Amino acid sequence: MASRLILVRHGQTDYNFSGRIQGASDIPLNDTGLAQACTVGEALAKDESIVAVYSSPLGRAKSTAEAIATHHGIEVVPDARLRERGFGDWEGLTRDEIEKGWPFEFALWRAGVSSGLEKARVEHRADVARRFDGACREFSARHESGTVVVVAHGAAISLGLAAMIGAGEGDFRGLASMDNCHRAVVEVMRRSEGAGWVRLTSLNLPPNFAAVR
Catalytic annotation, residues: 10, 84
Beta-carbon count within 10 A of 104 CB: 10
Distance CA 51, CA 150 (A): 11
Torsion angle of C-alpha atoms 25, 30, 35, 37, degrees rounded to 10: 10
Q: Looking at the chain, how many residues does it have?
A: 213
